[in-house]
Structure 1
Amino acid sequence: MRHRLIVPTAAAACLLLAVPASAADATPGAPGIGDSYYPGYGNGGYDVSHYDLRLKYQPATDRLEGTATVLATATQDLSRFNLDFALDVSEVLVGGRKAAFAAKGDHELEITPAAPLASGRPFTVVVRYGGTPSAVKVGGFTSWLRTRDGGVAANEPEAAWWWFPSNDHPLDKATYDVSVAVPDGTQAISNGRLVSTTSRLGWTRYSWRSGKPQATYLATLAVGRFDITTDTTENGLPVLNAYSKNLGAGAGAAKASVERSAEVADWLSGVFGPYPFDALGGYVPDVPTSYALETQTRPFYSPRQFASGSNVSVVVHELAHQWYGDSVSLKDWRDIWVNEGFARYAQWLWSEKEGEGTAQELADYTYAQHPAEDAFWTVKPGDPGPDNQFHAAVYDRGAIALQALRNTVGDDDFFTILRKWPTDRAYGKWSVRDFEVFAEKVSGKPLGELFDTWLFTASKPGAPAARAAGIGADADADADADAGDGAGVTVARPKSWKAIHATDTVHGRAGR
């Protein structure tokens, strides 16, 4: 607010001095955090440190009721701010005082506190809400997956809107307490450690805690009837896996895959450095989807991932994300390669370990599989665009780029890079170009041309570039000189190819 200049009396001057200067200059926080692909996602003006969610869910009706307490700090003098949310809100308090609120657009909750919030000061927001998540559509879809015995929140890049209000972008990570009451005989699965279970009057409350920073899309909730297994790793980490009781004949294959999570995590710790969280596991609900998602500490798997039998490769992919994507997150959704390229490459390294095809053989085969005119090469993994964010090229061409990096810098520097990046930058947010600079620093080599060729060029790298990076060398040696790109050359398919590409739908958006 701005006021006319009036010369005050002495008493009035004292009163004016008591008013924070920031209050006069407070402005609204931006309704988007500035993402290049999704400008309306996230919000400006504040930073969240913790979400406390106290929920009640009735599977029979898909009714969700909740109270969210959001702890945040203003990053500007703030007259109002937004949270991303799509359910019905009944009350909002800021700093214990009732605040005005209104639904704006399709997923914005605009909040006006009773008094402006000064930059640098912490504040608390309490939101009371309810709704039927599966019935709420934003942009024609819902990220809430209805099941025969409950519901599931697991999607990327948006999932939080249907079950809790948030600053919905990976730039604003926070810790979580998620407490959910469900009818006796039903379980509620979420991230992190299960800290308590209590029952009263026909309802059981499950309380989960995620003590490390977590992006909003990595928060998950699954309610249903599950078979639950528990264990601990050699290092004492609690392992909790959950399988819907409705999986039928596919239950065995699902368990044969996900029950190897501790083994896979131990192996990945040797590749990427110490496991970054304090809990481990996975869950397979009764959903019709085909994708999986690296929900932090407890990945989500669709039953269809195991329809043809066990598949440990998808477990490797999602657990690799705990380092690349969860602990170290992307700055902007265009930086998706720093998640997916590495998770795919982890599958290649697992194949190498299992004697089912080396990463080099997988890179050569992938390169030969796609002729120059294939649209596969028009997608730039380093900036694929929102419509191609989960295109196969982000995964496969993205993994070829890592093999090219490995061949260029040598195994010692390459595996040092793979370990130090998630260790030195744990719980932070970084871009593709940040990784390039980091790799140059570790290796002492200029890598700009390599990254541009394999990540930022909308065409197939030709034979000279491929040969320089050690990709498709055998194929090129026998290729027609005029083709120059391995086109038409037959390369033996590695044994692991089928299992790896059974996970080609690991990510996607539900209900679209």
Structure 2
Amino acid sequence: MHRRIIAPGALAAASLLLAIPASAASYSPGAPGIGDPYYPNYGNGGYDVSHYDLRLQYQPKTDELQGTATILARTTRDLSSFDLDFLLDVSEVRVDGAKASFTASGEHELVVTPKTPLAKGTTVTVVVRYSGVPSTKSAYGFSTWHRTPDGAVAADEPEAAWWWFPSNDHPGDKATYDVSVAVPDGTQAISNGTLQSTTSKLGWTRYNWRQNKPQATYLATLALGRFDITTGTSDGGVPVINAYSKDLGDNDGAARASVERTGELVDWLSGYFGPYPFSSAGGYVPNTTTGYALETQTRVYYSPKQFANGSNTSVVVHELAHQWYGDDVSLKHWKDIWINEGFARYAQWLWSEHEGEGTAQELADYVYASHPADDAFWTVAPGDPGADHQFDAAVYDRGALAIQALRNTIGDDAFFRILKGWPRTHAYGNASVADFQRYAEQVSGKPLSALFDTWLFQPSKPAAPSARALAGAGTGTEATRPKSWKRIEATNDVHGH
């Protein structure tokens, strides 16, 4: 910031010099990216958000969204300006009550210059007033805002926030949320956490949702439309909120037959992963044309296509497992995606075993035998797959193989202590693949670097003897395909754009 002051006389000049902090030269713009090697321009540097308060109004007929975002943050360095990730049209920005200048930059950056530079360690309140038609916006050639016949949905990975609220869009900066949305009477607004209240006035109904535990920006979701909403409580005491578009057609029955088992599956997963970490659970199935599902925190997004061939509890297990592995404990950088997808896939293997449709070992044998040594499957390293292969089948399947190899190496007692202990140890925080290896070594008392390197990082098929801790695959005979495999395989692309 440049401030022009006219002061006659040497005394005034000296006073001016005294008034300028010695550290003034240290004020500089915050970085336009948080430093993720896969997505250099995602997130932002220089501050850490603690809370988002979003007050929105949405008109489904026109897809017009108006909003005021109040962002509570703390600076992590001296800032002359900072970036937010955002695409809609901004009319005003205030920083600590004072109007700030702002400009759009690059594909998705909003650059904010406060009236007064911000010192490191300062608590900051940023208010952004905005409006726009999200479906008309794109960045890098795509959109994560999905129109439906009666509204819209925001749900995607690794980015979704830009289309509906300004943010520091990276899992490394988690925050709590209040999301308040006004929609015309007859339309509903669904978001994460618990519904605090609803109010109606002059043809509009306002829904007030609260997420009281830290949440990554890509896990924040917004669904706007006409839904049938069901509520209940699991045997373990977890409140469950599910929602189904009223125009799902032939997929309606299968969707309900799957998602309505959420409470049962949350309790079952708690037996492996420990107590459910959030205030509510549930899912929603809007009438979208996308093919993927996403572990949006406490309120999982499911595409109707997930249920086109009938009920699919396996995909529900996968997304609910993420509530521990991915949502409660989030990745440090996107290269750590194995911690999310490998364990969510392994939960499906455990569910298969529970249902008598193939044990985890039998599934591991089948996956290992199904991919010959020259298959490109083995060239993807789940521990650092690269941005282009972040959601490759190998991250899921070879990632789950690595987990079974770990189990066979350290034994069931240590393995299941790790499954429960990891979410407890890193609750509501972030962790890396290296952090997980260190934790597994600590709990098991065994050196595991060679095992992790072989299964997560080497671009080749592990030799049969080392795999066979994994019991009989690779012995020259083809492994029998477990009954559950077709449904599990169908979820390999649940997170594709």
- Of stretches 16-25 and 249-258 in structure 1, the one that deviates more from structure 2 is 16-25
Partner residue, 1:495: 483
Describe the SS at the equivalent of 1:249. helix
Partner residue, 2:43: 42
Q: Distance in 1 between matches of 2:90 and 2:334?
A: 28
Describe the SS at the equivalent of 2:79. coil
Alignment of 1:32-431 (within 5 A): 32-431=33-432
Partner residue, 1:486: none
Q: Distance in 2 between matches of 1:152 and 1:73?
A: 30
Q: Distance in 2 between matches of 1:507 and 1:109?
A: 27
Q: Residue 23 of structure 1 contacts residue 117 of structure 1 at CA under 8 Å; is this kept in 2?
A: no
Unaligned runs of 5+ in 1: 480-488
Quick one: which amino acid aligns to residue 490 of structure 1? E
Partner residue, 1:475: 473
Taking every aligned residue pair, what percent have the same amino acid on both sides? 72
Q: Distance in 2 between matches of 1:165 and 1:421?
A: 31
Quick one: which amino acid aligns to residue 474 of structure 1? G
Quick one: which amino acid aligns to residue 221 of structure 2? T
Describe the SS at the equivalent of 1:474. coil
Q: Distance in 2 between matches of 1:211 and 1:18?
A: 42
Q: Residue 56 of structure 2 contacts residue 68 of structure 2 at CA under 8 Å; is this kept in 1?
A: yes
Cα distance, 1:86 vs structure 2: 0.8
Q: Residue 170 of structure 1 contacts residue 329 of structure 1 at CA under 8 Å; is this kept in 2?
A: yes
Q: Distance in 2 between matches of 1:443 and 1:390?
A: 29
Q: String of CA shifts for 1:62-105, please: whole Å, max 9, x gaps.
A: 11110000000010111000000011111100010000100000
Cα distance, 1:501 vs structure 2: 1.5
Q: Residue 23 of structure 1 contacts residue 118 of structure 1 at CA under 8 Å; is this kept in 2?
A: no
Describe the SS at the equivalent of 1:304. helix
Q: Distance in 2 between matches of 1:375 and 1:334?
A: 19
Q: Residue 2 of structure 1 contacts residue 24 of structure 1 at CA under 8 Å; is this kept in 2?
A: no
Quick one: which amino acid aligns to residue 352 of structure 1? E
Q: Distance in 1 between matches of 2:47 and 2:250?
A: 48
Cα distance, 1:466 vs structure 2: 1.2
Cα distance, 1:13 vs structure 2: 6.0
Describe the SS at the equivalent of 1:498. helix
Q: Distance in 1 between matches of 2:407 and 2:132?
A: 50
Describe the SS at the equivalent of 1:442. helix
Taking a change above 3 Å as real, the CA distance of residues 2 and 190 of structure 1, as seen in their structure-2 partners, is closer
Quick one: which amino acid aligns to residue 501 of structure 1? E
Q: Distance in 1 between matches of 2:44 and 2:81?
A: 11
Quick one: which amino acid aligns to residue 189 of structure 1? I
Under a length normalisation based on structure 1, what TM-score does the superposition of the two structures give?
0.94
Cα distance, 1:180 vs structure 2: 0.4
Q: String of CA shifts for 1:171-205, please: whole Å, max 9, x gaps.
A: 00000000000000000000000001001111100
Q: Distance in 2 between matches of 1:90 and 1:148?
A: 29
Taking a change above 3 Å as real, the CA distance of residues 21 and 261 of structure 1, as seen in their structure-2 partners, is farther
Describe the SS at the equivalent of 1:381. coil
Q: Distance in 2 between matches of 1:139 and 1:418?
A: 37
Describe the SS at the equivalent of 1:405. helix
Cα distance, 1:139 vs structure 2: 1.1
Cα distance, 1:23 vs structure 2: 3.8
Quick one: which amino acid aligns to residue 85 of structure 1? F
Q: Distance in 2 between matches of 1:348 and 1:248?
A: 30
Quick one: which amino acid aligns to residue 337 of structure 1? W
Q: Distance in 2 between matches of 1:97 and 1:387?
A: 42
Cα distance, 1:226 vs structure 2: 0.3
Q: Distance in 1 between matches of 2:341 and 2:488?
A: 13
Q: Residue 369 of structure 2 contacts residue 473 of structure 2 at CA under 8 Å; is this kept in 1?
A: yes
- Of stretches 390-399 and 133-142 in structure 1, the one that deviates more from structure 2 is 133-142
Cα distance, 1:454 vs structure 2: 0.5
Describe the SS at the equivalent of 1:476. coil
Partner residue, 1:484: none
Cα distance, 1:504 vs structure 2: 1.8
Q: String of CA shifts for 1:350-403, please: whole Å, max 9, x gaps.
A: 111111111000000000011111111111000111111000000000000000
Unaligned runs of 5+ in 2: 4-8
Kindly report the root-mean-square deviation, in angstroms, between the aligned alpha carbons of the 2 structures.
Answer: 1.6
Q: Distance in 2 between matches of 1:17 and 1:234?
A: 66
Describe the SS at the equivalent of 2:290. coil
Q: Distance in 1 between matches of 2:351 and 2:163?
A: 36
Q: Residue 2 of structure 1 contacts residue 25 of structure 1 at CA under 8 Å; is this kept in 2?
A: no
Q: Distance in 2 between matches of 1:95 and 1:375?
A: 53
Quick one: which amino acid aligns to residue 263 of structure 2? A
Q: Distance in 2 between matches of 1:355 and 1:13?
A: 83
